[in-house]
Amino acid sequence: MTHRLAIIIPAYKATFLPAALDSIAMQTCKDFILYVGDDCSPEPIGNIVEQYRDKIELVYQRFDTNLGGKDLVAQWERCIAMSREEPYIWLFSDDDVMEPNCVEELLRQIEKTEGYYDVYHFNVDIINERGAYKKRKQDYPAVLPAYRFYRGKNSGRLSAFVVENVFSRKVYEQMDGFPKYDLAWGSDVAAWIMFSGRKGMCTVPNARVCWRQSSQNITPDYSRQIAERKLRAQMALLNWAYRYFAEEPDIYTTNRAFFILFIHYNRRFVSKESIKEAFASYFAVHGRHWDMPLIYFCAFLIDGIYFRIRKWFTWLYGDKE
């Protein structure tokens, strides 16, 4: 029997894996196969997965080498390669959970829209290490254009976690997989932009994904080495987006605001050399070197007031889009 959905878990951490698998086992619709790719973990991933074979139709594979520590996108892609011909792919995680009706509501929305969209999105709640609710992230509109998603994500108004989105196998193959960024930082954002294309992404109503905020996430890691790698990845994404959205009339001013934000937030965690490298990268692609004094002034001298004023105007007058 061919199922409509492949749920993919690139697994390495065992701590919250039972919670993730419990949430999948509780799905009200079973029209999926779960694929678990064990990234040569020292933790008992296989033993945990085996306990669910009578609850979930699943495929488990332990890889001989650890890939996620070097190239996380490559680990995602070799796990996706485990799947068969399911027309939709959900790249999930080993520590997040889904509400019991997620698969049912997803497939209902796909049927309702006649499969028009290549990206279907779940709204998100944040949970803590104990699984307790912390807060609700901003809901997406029914359909979100790619450029509005880009602006919302980089301004902090919208979240963008890997587990939020389900994508079609067709577009995944057409786009040759995920873009490659260090630490996979921004790889998902660029992918959702490319995968959704001119159609935008469609939100699945009446079901949510719970993203776990814990000490094991890469996001809170502000060691200098990780922070500098993240900044380089952010710059690569910023420069790519400038070219990708070249037809958008405000892409330069949008990216300038984001660049100021990136420098302002990262300056405490990275070296001066990394800041200089980021400036060189930005102006090599965006040009307009005469903006350098303004950017320095806003990012360093007045504590990012440029971006704060931008946020105030958005709050007062709304997003013009």
Residue 72: phi and psi, rounded to 5, are -65, -35
Please determine, for residue 218, whether its predicted confidence score (pLDDT) is greater than 90.
Answer: no
Whole-number Å distance between alpha carbons of 307 and 299:
9
| Yes or no: domain 5-212 corresponds to CATH 3.90.550.10 | yes
Determine the pLDDT at residue 297.
74
**Predicted confidence (pLDDT) per residue in 105-135, tens digit:** 999 999 999 999 999 999 999 999 888 888 8
Contact 39, 48 (CB under 8 A): no
pTM score, whole prediction? 0.89
Q: How far apart are CA 53 and CA 71, in angstroms?
A: 29
Strands 58-62, 119-127: pairing kind: unpaired
Range with lowest mean pLDDT among 93-102, 263-272, 278-287: 263-272
Whole-angstrom distance, CA of residue 295 vs CA of residue 283:
11
Question: pLDDT per residue over 33-89, tens digit each?
Answer: 999 999 999 999 999 999 999 999 999 999 999 999 889 999 999 999 999 999 999
pLDDT digits (tens, 9 = 90+) for 129-155: 888 888 899 999 999 999 999 999 988
Confidence of residue 321 (pLDDT cuts 50, 70, 90): very low
C-alpha 85/C-alpha 111 separation (Å) is: 18
Q: Any idea where the domains of the chain sit in the sequence? A: 5-212, 224-317
> What is the band of 312 on the pLDDT scale with cuts at 50, 70, 90?
low
Is the model more confident about 241 or about 185?
Answer: 241
Question: In sequence order, which residues have a C-beta less than 8 Å from that of residue 42 and are 6 or more positions away?
Answer: none
- Segment 165-174 mean pLDDT: 98
Residues 274-290 have pLDDT tens digits of 999 999 999 999 998 87
At residue 316, the pLDDT reads 57
How far is it, in rounded angstroms, from Cα 61 to Cα 38?
6
Could you tell me whether strands 88-91 and 165-168 are parallel, antiparallel, or unpaired per DSSP bridges?
antiparallel
